[in-house]
Structure 1
Amino acid sequence: MGQKRKWNFPSNNFGQIFGIADSGVETFKGTPMKSLAREICQNSLDANDQSGQPTKIEFKAFQLAPSDIPDFEGLYDALKRSLAFWSGQTTDRAKSFFETALSVANNVAITCLRISDYNTTGLTGAREEYNSAWCNLTKSSGASDKSGSNGGSFGIGKYAPFACSVFRTVFYSTLDSANQSAYQGVSRLTSFRNASEEITQGIGFYGGEKNAPVYEQISLDSEYHRPVGQHGTDIFILGFNGDEHWREQMVASILDGFLYAVFNGTLVVDVDGTQISKDTLDGLVESHKDYFRERADEYYQTLLNRTEVCTFEKLFTEDPETCGKVTLRLMIEAGFHRRVAMVRQTGMKIKDKGHINGIIPFAGVLYIEGVELNTYLRTLENPQHLEWEVERADNQRKAKKLLQQLSQFIRESLNEMRDDSSEEELDPPVGEYLSAKQEEEAANEKKEERIMDTIHDVDSRVTEVKPPSSGEQDEDTAETQHPNDTGEISVSGFPGEGGSGDQGAGNGGGNGGGHHAGNGGGDIPKEHRQALSTIPASHIRNLVRDRKEGKYTIIFTPAISACDGVIEIFMSAESQAYDANILSAHCATHPNLTVEGNKIQNINFTRQQPLKIDVQIDYHDYCPMEVKGYGNKV
């Protein structure tokens, strides 16, 4: 007769004590839905049974009574003991976690999430002691036996489901390709004192003797049973912590990360009744646009469009380790964010490649083919599979060269597309403002800036004004920059400031008087007769509203407050900047702006308060802008 199955939290045998900040779980806590979608889809695609059928995944929420959870009393006891063990800490982090978990445990029904995949091999090797797909998922730490072009390589992705559980507890069940069945529960809590006063490791297992799995399938969802003969894996997340929008977030995350796999028909997903397939992409991209964080809607247009997209190919044949082929699809469209999705052979996007061009709005998808090339790039990926890092390579020079070749191919392709398809040449040309040495962009931008309608960014520059060296004087310019008595950079020569003669009459005169009367008199009060100082900007954005009409929006966020302010706008070229001829300027908070040449006047700067100005310039194409601010500091 078999004994009753229970949760078992092994003793640490007087060894290491484990706290609440599990590094694996913490990796995915910041973006739990995105991480869960990414890791599940990646693992299931890797496990495709090569039958020619697409990998299918189902996410299904359900309610479960505590009494229906295997040995829930044992899990509840572990939660209580953990709370008691860590209550003496100064920080409330562990205490807060266990109090929340126990509160949910006392509910009449507990929300859970079932994740099931089909047309996969399942988790093979359940009867092996180590180094099998089953063991690497349920018991190993930092172990992965994936090879070749498969998506995962660190074994850290298995922590993503635990980050979505208020109990940090998951059940696994599988029917593998050899028709072997197994299930097991895993709980990643903290060390605590058990009934024998021993301190535990914090990781508990529900199953057979010696923490072995039970060699049969289980379903905690009463409405689900795996179809006979359908190989695959079921994961049950206890105490699922998704919010009311988890479905939309999950759909958007899957499309952000695996759009290419869905588009080419190798991945089909059901998110609690919402079907994601190549046949439903049109509607989903439109209905979930507000939830996208990585521009899946732009990439979808690039994949779908057949008339405005250009396709480019490049073969890598020089090095046997990096042999392969890349295919790039590019589309130029107003409002696009100038990024290229870098997609590996599995259909998983690794990153959004930026720093390609700061002027033309475009989107692209780069698909990487070839076992050798994919295998090599996989060795450069960080644990989250969101970035290629040169430092991970044994031969960093080789890795850097490969990444530079990919970047150069994208830039050259964009140049070629512009030359072939544009009726009027862009000035300056594509890539003119790219540094000679571009590094890869940081992993998946965390800051989000979104402006709706058809507005898109234009390259901007913040210029630090340096005082001239001793004895220097520029006689060819009417604007003079010089340090004042406090060492700050000041500017004279603007209308309203007059000259700066040493005694008596200055020669600047004009409308404002200046430091002294000047030969032009002036009507600005004496207290305002001082040189303007450069106003540093915390942030500047230039947005195109209508390229053909030369209409832009400037958002200037000053780092300090100032009155009598002036903004200057320049059009940047390769070696110098040219005055922009401003036709008009309007600001809701400053109705009395005046315009002269490239200057906008009558501005008051308020520290960290964005100033939004709509301008029209006498230039009718995309152009990078340089913006400077001046004023009297207050």
Structure 2
Amino acid sequence: MINEWNFPHNGYGQVRGISDAGIETFTGTEIQSLAREICQNSLDAAVEGSNATVRVDFEQYRIFSSEIPGYEQYASKIKKAYDHWSKKNSEKTIKVLTKALSSINKQETIVLRISDFNTTGLSHPYEDSDEGWNALTKLDGGATKTGDKAGAFGIGKNAPFTNSDYRLVFYRTLNEAQETAAQGMSRFISFPEDLNDSMNTMTTGIGYYGNPQGNLPVDSISELEQLYKRSEIGTDVFVYGFNAGTEWDRDVINEVLENFLMAIHKNLLSVTVADKKIDNSTLARYLGVYNAKIKNAYWYYQVLVRPETKVFTRDFHGLGTLKLSVLVDSSEKLNRKILITRSSGMKLFALGNMSRIISFSGILEMEGKELNEFFREMETPAHDKWLPSRHSTNVLLAKEYNNELKEWIRDCIQTLGEHSSDDEIEVTGLAGVLQRESDKTTQSGDENRESLQDTIESITIQPRVSKNKPKGLFYGSEGNGKSKNTDAEGVVGADGNNSTTRNLGGMRHRSKKDMHRGRVAIGGHDTVHKRYGGNINQELKNVRIIKTSRSIYRVSFILPRDIFAGHVEIVTVGENGKSNRLAIYSASELMGCTGIKKSSEGVRFSSMKGNEKVQFEIILLDNRDYAMEVNVYEHN
């Protein structure tokens, strides 16, 4: 049987243009998309139950164009397409076809071979099946993989064609059933086989090289065997007219490190690009060499290897286990992102907006087939984000679980951030300047003291600024206030200008803390608070308010001394400087305090310790984000 090209006619149906959606998806990131999609497909084809590392090799060849399988015939197809479309008013189409025609007519061309090993190969190459070979070559929009697989062969199978000047790719496999198969494929543009009868001979734009009867593969293609003979189970992809340029190997390595860090670290994958092998033993070296281009991958690797990394795990609704590894380091400018990975080790996307003040990097691993399958339903075709609206069975539950997962990650990060300090300021080199100038002073007197002063004044110290940094004040008790007349209405306070808490007797308190009028109840008294001046009213120390979930906040601070009764007011401050008390739904103590419970004033307590951390949790009536301040009032 003679191998030949066949472009099926479209049967008077749809005409395929040059701007195919599957191809355009990867335009601008051609080589990066190729590396990512090929390696992911290879990982998905790993032999189940095997501990063998999947190996992927990238190798480039320069050949004579005449050595392209079916060269003369394929070149003639491009010429027919050019002759037909050059008469149309489509500048982009003519430009692409001009480049394709010029490239195919050059004496030499470039071929990129990508081969995988320790995989299953492609099944059912000669059968009418929706899996294996046909899923790659004939099935469009029908991704067949499930569970924790990527869902390909979906749109990603278009990536190799974007790396060919004339959209030409050959596939070859040796599968577990010891079947061999090879076939060429072109995802090109519709054109008429007969320019004089375009309506009756218009093609679909998809062409196959091999057995024209049924557009089936053949056992082997000699031109492919001359480039590389396969003896192990696996699959080869040959990209003819490879157009990635001289830096292609560097681009592939960058993409592999960026997207498959976890797979390589776990010995699930090794990749050889030309003569450069990236595996678990060489990973650190390549990250060091290429980290200017892949800074994020470099920090994620630090998360994996640094001993101070903290690990959190959680069973997620019985679907599987979430494993979150977080590195917090205030001395480093980490990327403040969480790498979300598939169980195969492929990067899905980086989750941001977790914290603007904590310096951290982290990795989330999703362990378990059901867990991966549930979140895979939310993935976009590019596998770069979750969209709950894409979930095929339960959009509302997908939205709930997506929000819950993000809140859990945020809680873990904020818990770690609570133990870090943002209050220290270090001026690099200042200590050295002071020491050296001081030595000179002892020798040269006033002259060098002036030099030292000039040096210090030339240094600008920028304090670390934290947005919406919580503030707090402690209002100590002033004692009982007096009404002007105890049996008639009067202004509370000696001068009528002090804020007060009205004590009506027993444990009941008036909630409003400002000037007020009211009759004195028997057994009651007024507690007067001075906002400004004196030693009684002081700033709280180390005030922190951390949002730990959708509506729960952890409040902590240090009081100047022990107090035995009082309340805490949580207020939000607007841009106009005015404060409003926030409504508390519930409150619970954590450390350094007793008798915590919600009240009309905010949070009441029976005692709080001074000079050590006081900590309690509150739940607000809503889950909006506020800029908060804390005010602590002592009662008599």
Which TM bucket (shorter chain)? 0.5 to 0.7
- The share of aligned pairs that are identical, in percent, is 35
Mark the CA change 1:178 to 1:425 in structure 2 (over 3 Å): closer, same or farther: farther
Instruction: State the one-letter code of the partner of 2:351.
Output: K
Task: Compare 394-403 and 372-381 and name the one that shifted more.
Answer: 394-403
5 Å-filtered alignment, 1:374-389, equals 374-389=372-387
Task: Compare 373-382 and 407-416 and name the one that shifted more.
Answer: 407-416
Q: Deviations over 1:89-146 (max 9, x none)?
A: 3231111111111111122210110000000000111011231210010111112211
Contact 2:338 2:350 in 1 (8 A): yes
Q: Is 1:351 matched up with 2:353? A: no
Mark the CA change 1:219 to 1:173 in structure 2 (over 3 Å): closer, same or farther: farther
Deviation at 1:17, TM superposition (A): 0.7
Unaligned stretches of 5+ in structure 1?
Answer: 428-454, 462-572, 580-625, 627-634
Deviation at 1:38, TM superposition (A): 1.2
Deviation at 1:6, TM superposition (A): 1.2
The CA distance in 1 between the partners of 2:164 and 2:573, in whole Å, is 56
Partner secondary structure for residue 166 of structure 2: coil
Q: Is 1:225 matched up with 2:205? A: no
TM-score by length of 2: 0.64
Mark the CA change 1:458 to 1:275 in structure 2 (over 3 Å): closer, same or farther: farther
The CA distance in 1 between the partners of 2:173 and 2:357, in whole Å, is 51
Partner of 1:45: 43
Partner secondary structure for residue 107 of structure 2: coil
Deviation at 1:460, TM superposition (A): 7.2
Contact 2:324 2:409 in 1 (8 A): no
Deviation at 1:247, TM superposition (A): 1.2
Deviation at 1:458, TM superposition (A): 8.0
Deviation at 1:341, TM superposition (A): 0.2
Cα RMSD, aligned residues only: 2.5
What is the aligned length? Answer: 431
Contact 1:114 1:221 in 2 (8 A): no
Partner of 1:326: 323
Partner secondary structure for residue 24 of structure 1: helix
Mark the CA change 1:98 to 1:410 in structure 2 (over 3 Å): closer, same or farther: same
Partner of 2:95: 96
Instruction: State the one-letter code of the partner of 2:43.
Output: L
Deviation at 1:49, TM superposition (A): 1.3
Mark the CA change 1:77 to 1:330 in structure 2 (over 3 Å): closer, same or farther: same
Partner of 2:218: 214
Q: Is 1:313 matched up with 2:313? A: yes
5 Å-filtered alignment, 1:265-414, equals 265-292=267-294, 295-306=296-307, 308-317=308-317, 322-333=319-330, 334-393=332-391, 394-414=393-413
The CA distance in 1 between the partners of 2:237 and 2:153, in whole Å, is 20
Contact 2:309 2:327 in 1 (8 A): yes
Q: Deviations over 1:392-440 (max 9, x none)?
A: 12322211111112211211111221234x366799xxxxxxxxxxxxx
The CA distance in 2 between the partners of 1:218 and 1:367, in whole Å, is 44
Which of 192, 200, 205 is the equivalent residue of 2:203? 200
5 Å-filtered alignment, 1:205-604, equals 205-208=208-211, 209-216=213-220, 220=224, 222-226=226-230, 228=231, 230-292=232-294, 295-306=296-307, 308-317=308-317, 322-333=319-330, 334-393=332-391, 394-420=393-419, 422=420, 575=573
Partner secondary structure for residue 312 of structure 1: strand
The CA distance in 1 between the partners of 2:366 and 2:180, in whole Å, is 36
Deviation at 1:331, TM superposition (A): 3.2
Deviation at 1:178, TM superposition (A): 0.8
Partner of 1:21: 19
The CA distance in 2 between the partners of 1:6 and 1:574, in whole Å, is 75
Contact 2:311 2:323 in 1 (8 A): no
Mark the CA change 1:459 to 1:9 in structure 2 (over 3 Å): closer, same or farther: farther
Which structure has the larger Rg?
A: 2
Partner secondary structure for residue 167 of structure 1: strand
Deviation at 1:222, TM superposition (A): 3.6
The CA distance in 2 between the partners of 1:11 and 1:414, in whole Å, is 58
Contact 2:267 2:280 in 1 (8 A): yes
Partner secondary structure for residue 166 of structure 1: strand
Deviation at 1:286, TM superposition (A): 1.4
The CA distance in 1 between the partners of 2:14 and 2:334, in whole Å, is 51
Contact 2:309 2:325 in 1 (8 A): no
The CA distance in 2 between the partners of 1:281 and 1:232, in whole Å, is 24
Contact 2:325 2:364 in 1 (8 A): yes
